[in-house]
Amino acid sequence: MTPDAAREACALIWGHRRAGTRLGALPPALRPATRAEGYAIQAGLETLGPLWGWKIAATSVAGQRHINVDGPLAGRILASMLVPEGAPVPLAGNAMLVAEPEFVFRMGQDLPPRDAAYTQAEVMEAVAALHLGIEVPDSRFADVTAAGGPGLIADNACAHLMVPGPEAPAPWRDLDLARHRVACTVEGRYAREGLGANVLGDPRSALAWLANELSRHGAALRAGHFVTTGTCAVPLDLRPTGESITADYGALGRMAVRFTP
């Protein structure tokens, strides 16, 4: 795929995002055949505004089934995709209609591309803080399950909106995040429990995966970037008319988010 084709594909996808419309499929000449081509398309997003950080999609079996892929995908979260905690989150035009409680790391040091893989210990040494977060994904494809891994990477791993949550208390490093439970409630309609182990076995493992995925494709995690590591619960189904959810992370804190039509 040529640089011009990658830019054209990115502009096409972003245009559908801005218009709130759906894409049946990318034209054959703009369709990524590999993960590398998907990331080349996605990289064009960085010309559209400041980068807040990164997301990891499909870090759980439930998440992979939801979008019909067999492994995780990385995506960029621009500052323009953020919704402050306490502000209503719009659902207009959102086809996925799910919310995802996530563990979010804030980086304190750069992790640039290199030949050797980063170890989990190295990656965690570069972390400044743990935060809570709720991601609200969506896809520009009419049928997300038919897009395939490279196509969904080009689609920015279904990044749409992100609600950053509070910073967790300092002793979070002493906790076993794999065993940490998150109690989720959707406006009294139902309750669902999340578990850190649902995120590639451990949110810290997911962060290490991202550092190495970016490194393989010539990108870097930078100090100040946030990384939301993927849903720790089966995605919370939402009504298009809007409702509220809570995610209780126990000793790490609590979030409440209100959705509007």
Question: Do the Cβ atoms of 258 and 89 come closer than 8 Å?
Answer: yes
Give yes or no for a contact between 228 and 101, defined as CB atoms under 8 angstroms apart.
no
Beta bridge partners of 162: 82, 135
Q: Would you say 152 and 144 are in contact if contact means Cβ atoms under 8 Å apart?
A: yes
**In a domain? residue 55:** yes
Q: Name which residue leads in pLDDT, 64 or 174.
A: 174
Here the CATH number for the domain that contains residue 91 is 3.90.850.10
Residue 191 maps to a domain: yes
Give residue-wise pLDDT tens across range 100-135.
999 999 999 999 999 999 999 999 999 999 999 999
User: What region, left, alpha or beta, does residue 82 occupy, with left being phi > 0 and alpha being psi -120 to 50 degrees?
Assistant: beta
Domain interval for residue 228: 49-260
Rounded to two decimals, the pTM is 0.96
- Per-residue model confidence as pLDDT tens digits over 153-191: 999 999 999 999 999 999 999 999 999 999 999 998 999
Chain position carrying tokens 């009504």: 239
Helices (H), 47-141: 61-67, 120-125
Number of structural domains (the chain) is: 1
